Structure 1
Amino acid sequence: MDLVMRRSGGRLAGPCALLAGALALGTALLGGPAVAASPETTLHELASAQGRYFGSATDNSELTDTAYTAVLGSEFGQITPGNSMKWDTTEPVQGQFKFAKGDVITDFGRQHGQSVRGHTLVWHSQLPSWVGALPPEQVEPAMVNHITEVATHYRGAVTAWDVVNEPFNEDGTYRTSPFHTAMGSDYIATALRAAHAADPEAKLYLNDYNIEGLGAKSDAMYALVTELLAEGVPLDGVGMQAHLAVQYGFPYEMRANMQRFADLGLDVAVTELDVRMQLPADATKLATQSSYYQRVVEACLAVERCVGVTVWDWTDKYSWVPSTFPGQGAANLYDENLLPKPALAAVRTALGAEDDDGEGEGDGATLKAQYRTNDSATGDNQIKPGLQLVNTGSTAVSLQDVTVRYWFTGENGASTYSTWCDWSPLGCSAVTSRVAAWNPAAAGADHYLEAGFRSGSLAPGASTGEIQLRLNKTDWSRFDESDDYSHSGATSYADAAKVAVYVGGELVWGIEP
């Protein structure tokens, strides 16, 4: 399956940089997962064309990672705060509310044209200790006050709320919590009414895991929402978390289960999708993972009132799975290096993406960049990246259309540079190189080395082989590569997310700073 690295942010891709390719005749095939050309449309754009949204969870600590936020802000049309709107964050001390962390999330969404799902107003977990210490008669007013304050604060910034999260045990009985202990199951209706009073425009949901398929737990949710609707309680939808695992079967009759909730006049949303596996990952597990992701999206698209899909973060780098399920992980659409996995292509296929190997700009190019450093000294007067391109597609790529960029900082000294190709199996006469300023400058990136090609083509499955590049300032002053955007200490070739590849001026691999 083809995988995709999207253009990050709103910057137009220019002709570009390091790594590159040339004639493919006789070059070796390289193994590893295939990564395809950048699609013309994002996941959210594909979903929007189907009348849905496609979103991702996120959290405050992740928003300092510029490579991460570039994808988060461009690929997804909806975000959910993982922790910053939960009770222990928003009201750690009774009556003292803190909204700074949640405000960062809603501000990010506003800046990137994304809707925000509020998560969560009432949950048995991540409660400050004072809630559990309340006398039973004080729990209801404390809960109503909490909902009122939080939902009022985010009125207009949040389009939907997971009002009550995870109310059921696996057998369909009600989960023990301070709220259920004090009020019985009535706490759910009380919470929904309070949320509606605080924000009448927000969509209100009940949210739980293991209710994706037909079974005791989803039956209990179905009975509850039927009763709430009959009583006129404000309720707009049911959130199905969809924390799945390849070692377990796919949820039984997911589409039929979604449809029965929709038939009650409720919206359905997939709110926390990921698909974990026992580590290490292998081709078989990844194929099953891809199938599960695709089937979830297809089920949502088949039910008119399924409004969208949110993945529980988009990269394994920030997944909750390894810390919660020891020995498991690799649950997301992109790996820990922010590189796409086969599941991404499966999701795009389910959303109706056109074949990325078809006709169009870039000749259907499916290229990836690999990198290693050829200089262990990060503080000397030269930068020596080793780069190679791999064609993972099914059609040849004209190298004259290809450029590659490697970002670095110039530090002090001369602002003019000399560049060299020291060796390439293609012949250095076929390789071009130059240094240009990156505007506006970003962390670790105020310049980039750009490599291109004068001629040649790269056959399907072929590699350019190593291209040894070098640059220096014309006064031979020193660099500090330790914090450069594209630099790593890798001494063997590996897929490089921070080295960008362009075909015909369009970004097809990597994340710009």
Structure 2
Amino acid sequence: MTPATSLDAVRSVEATLTVRRADGSPCADSDVTVEQVRHGFGFGNIGFDFVGLANEEQDGARENVFGGAEPEAAQRLEELWLDVFNTATLPFYWAGFEPEQGRPDTRRLQVTAEWFRDRGVTVKGHPLVWHTLAPDWLRAYSDEDVEQIVRARVRREAAGMAGLIDTWDAINEVVIMPVFANEPEQNAITRLCRSIGRIPTVRLAFEEARAANPAATLVLNDFNLSTAYECLVEGVLEAGVQVDAIGLQSHMHQGYWGEERTLEVLERFARYGLPLHWTETTLVSGDLMPPEIVDLNDHQVPEWPSTPEGEARQADDVVRHYRTLLGHPAVEAVTYWGITDRGAWLGAPAGLVRADGTPKPAYDALRGLVKEEWWLAPTPMRTDGEGRVRVRGWAGDYSVSVAGGSATWALRHDAPTPEVVLA
């Protein structure tokens, strides 16, 4: 074995597994095979592309309000997606989810969440409250009515998806929420947040979601990683709002931040003692966006192709980025924002798969980390006289098999002496 790296020291777990036969006797002095079947860490990507496929729709059968791939294209992406990722983010952008008041697109997303669950994937919802893509029909209501409608929306989604979706970005991008001015007419949620304040707006999102699904993991999420977000986090926590994780975004269209900047961000937000979810991240495989662009949305180009040079850079950047993030003990999940270039945000070549469905070097590099370097392949071992075997690997789900039976078990930091009974 190679000496443990700092990342191994953070992520690896060592446990003594006791293997018993169906009658309870130890499986002593036996050859067994141990292998990993799932990571405990949240390796995420968006699941938008699979809404049509999961619902067995035909290509072009309905407007693609969630920005996903047509079902035929999604079918070609399915194996690539599932081979790397174990956590899917589904879109609950209110304007597309409920374009007509009282007619939410609940069933399609329930079916999609079930589709992922049946494939062993954990599902997250994004977001419950956000000023961008608030429905136009909400503008007609007073601030008091808007608050009640928002509360009801949060309860409806959190309760209706409970058991299928138990992790939510409860509220998104609150730092700019009350001052957001990128629309001709102010959206109703910005208006509400300006009226009641940021912290009360955060409180209503978290409290309603918590009441609707007490088991949910609720994330406070933002792209603004300045001291303004730190002030918001501090204010929210001082106000007694129960936040389960802090969400951090990094769409790196202007180039990889580098290890130093990324670690600086992680350290600043880890000091609150909460898990960190790197909720959105992208790295482009074409020309970089000019550095003078402040709002990424302002960069509009007719074409933004992936290039061989850019793909090589993206692959290197992906490896460096993921190593840095997973090397920090506070990070529990990382979500890459898009499997494919087709339909990518801002038209950027930020996917891990080209628009024609072929994997880029970045896909292969990330898979090499997730399913090879950070993965325990089937490994022959031998139990001692008490049926015990020492196992070291990354936290997650494992199987152990021996002639005559097998069993699954979880390798966790808080369970150093697991036991299994062969079936």
TM-score (norm 2): 0.63
1:76 maps to 85
- Residue 118 of structure 1 and its aligned partner are, at CA, apart by 0.7
Residue-by-residue CA offset, 1:201-255 (whole Å, 9 max, x unaligned): 11111222253xxxx3xx2112111221222201111222221125575486212
Unaligned runs of 5+ in 2: 1-34, 53-68, 182-189, 288-303, 380-423
Partners of 1:55 and 1:196 lie apart in 2 by: 23
- Residue 63 of structure 1 and its aligned partner are, at CA, apart by 6.6
1:337 equivalenced with 2:359 (yes/no): no
For 1:183, give the aligned amino acid: I
1:86-485 equivalence runs, <5 A: 86-169=93-176, 175=180, 177-185=190-198, 186-211=200-225, 216=226, 219-247=227-255, 249-250=257-258, 253-276=261-284, 277-278=286-287, 279-322=304-347, 329-348=348-367, 350-351=369-370, 353-354=372-373
Partners of 2:224 and 2:234 lie apart in 1 by: 19
Partners of 2:252 and 2:268 lie apart in 1 by: 21
Note closer, same or farther for the CA distance 1:247–1:105 as it changes in structure 2 (3 Å cut).
same
- Residue 88 of structure 1 and its aligned partner are, at CA, apart by 2.0
**What secondary structure sits across from 2:151 in the alignment?**
helix
Unaligned runs of 5+ in 1: 1-40, 323-328, 361-513
**What secondary structure sits across from 1:122 in the alignment?**
coil
For 2:93, give the aligned amino acid: K
For 1:97, give the aligned amino acid: P
Note closer, same or farther for the CA distance 1:94–1:189 as it changes in structure 2 (3 Å cut).
same
- Residue 79 of structure 1 and its aligned partner are, at CA, apart by 0.6
For 2:47, give the aligned amino acid: T
Q: Is 1:274–1:312's contact at 8 Å kept on the other side of the alignment?
A: yes
Q: Is 1:91–1:146's contact at 8 Å kept on the other side of the alignment?
A: no
For 1:334, give the aligned amino acid: V
Partners of 2:178 and 2:267 lie apart in 1 by: 23
Partners of 1:319 and 1:201 lie apart in 2 by: 32
1:58 equivalenced with 2:67 (yes/no): no
Partners of 1:152 and 1:209 lie apart in 2 by: 27
**What secondary structure sits across from 1:79 in the alignment?**
strand
Partners of 2:80 and 2:145 lie apart in 1 by: 44
For 1:155, give the aligned amino acid: A
- Residue 347 of structure 1 and its aligned partner are, at CA, apart by 2.5
Q: Is 2:245–2:275's contact at 8 Å kept on the other side of the alignment?
A: yes
Q: Percent identity?
A: 28
Partners of 2:178 and 2:110 lie apart in 1 by: 35
1:446 maps to none
Residue-by-residue CA offset, 1:238-286 (whole Å, 9 max, x unaligned): 2222211255754862123223322312111122222123344334322
For 1:294, give the aligned amino acid: V
Aligned residues: 296
Q: Is 1:152–1:199's contact at 8 Å kept on the other side of the alignment?
A: yes
Partners of 1:132 and 1:251 lie apart in 2 by: 43
Q: Is 1:167–1:174's contact at 8 Å kept on the other side of the alignment?
A: no
- Residue 141 of structure 1 and its aligned partner are, at CA, apart by 0.9
1:492 maps to none
For 2:85, give the aligned amino acid: F
Note closer, same or farther for the CA distance 1:175–1:94 as it changes in structure 2 (3 Å cut).
same
- Residue 101 of structure 1 and its aligned partner are, at CA, apart by 2.2
Note closer, same or farther for the CA distance 1:194–1:308 as it changes in structure 2 (3 Å cut).
same
Q: Kindly name which structure, 1 or 2, has the bigger radius of gyration based on alpha carbons.
A: 1
Consecutive aligned runs of 4 or more in structure 1 exceeding 6 Å deviation: none
Note closer, same or farther for the CA distance 1:210–1:293 as it changes in structure 2 (3 Å cut).
farther
Q: Is 1:207–1:239's contact at 8 Å kept on the other side of the alignment?
A: yes
Root-mean-square deviation (CA, aligned residues, Å) is 2.9
TM-score (norm 1): 0.53
Partners of 2:120 and 2:160 lie apart in 1 by: 20
For 2:117, give the aligned amino acid: R
1:67 maps to 76
Partners of 2:250 and 2:143 lie apart in 1 by: 33
Between 1 and 2, higher relative CO (CA 8 Å, sep ≥ 6) is seen in 2
